[in-house]
Structures are given as structure tokens and as C-alpha cells.
Amino acid sequence: MKHIIVELSHPPFGHEHTFAGLYVATASLSKAMDVTVLLRGDAVYTAMKGQVEPQRLIALPPTEQQVEDILALGGRVIAEAHSMEVRGLGPEELVEGIEVLSTQEIHDLLLNEGDHVVAF
């Protein structure tokens, strides 16, 4: 089984990148691939809990729900600790099930795991 790493670095709602990456992650899971989503930089906001009706208010899907769907489908979602710290985010503010890893651990994962990395 192929393992794809989807690396996100853009904020959730300002660009199409995050949605594009999350759709690739979900579609890959439904095609029986192993999927890891990496949230780095402003992409850590993608997994924030308590998003208030973005679909109704700004006509964009809630990324919180998309992250929960990826976890429910068996995907792994990882947020970079350093990116969270500099933005003042704690792990309790993220969707349950997100792993928080150090930059070194993420680099080890990028170099040692996964058949392909698709970055958005």
C-alpha cells in the first residue's frame, strides 16, 4: 500500500491550497492509501476546534470537519509544535486526535516514511 504525505503550509481559508490538499488526503484514503497530513506554518490553524459556521458566513467548508473526517478514515494528522508555539496555540485548541511533533521528528518522518510528498 502506498503512503502519501500531504504537507500543508497555507492558512485554511485565505487560499485554495488547504482545501486542495485535504481533498487529496480524503480521496487517497478512500482509495485505500496510507495518508499522513502535515500541518506546518499557518496550516496549523486548519485543525483548530470551534470554527464558527465558515460555510454559512464565508462560503467555505469548515476545515475542522475535514480534519475530523481524515482522522475518522484512518489518516494521521500531525501539527508542528514550533508552528503552534509561535502562534500561541496549545494542543487543547486543536481537534482531538492530532499529533503534535517537533520539527526534527517531522523531518525524520519526511525523510524516512512515505512514498511521496505532495505539498500545498
Partner 1 sequence: MVKEQKALACMLFSGPYGSQDADIMARIAERALDMGYGVKIFLYGDGVHAQMSGQRPKAFFNVGDALERIAKKGGNIKSCVRCSEARGYLDGGYDDDNERYISSKSLDAVRIYSLYGFIDMIKDAHTILTFGST
Residues of the shown chain interacting with partner 1 in the complex, contacts defined by CB under 8 A: 2, 4, 9, 16-17, 20, 23-24, 27-28, 31, 33, 116-120
Q: What are the residues facing 38 on neighbouring strands?
A: 7, 78
CA distance readout (Å), 108 to 9, 37, 81, 102: 18, 15, 15, 10
CB of 59 to partner 1, least distance (A): 12
DSSP 3-state assignment of 7? strand
CB of 103 to partner 1, least distance (A): 17
Residue (33 or 110) nearer to partner 1, CB: 33
* CA 36 – CA 91 distance, rounded (Å): 18
Residue (110 or 118) nearer to partner 1, CB: 118
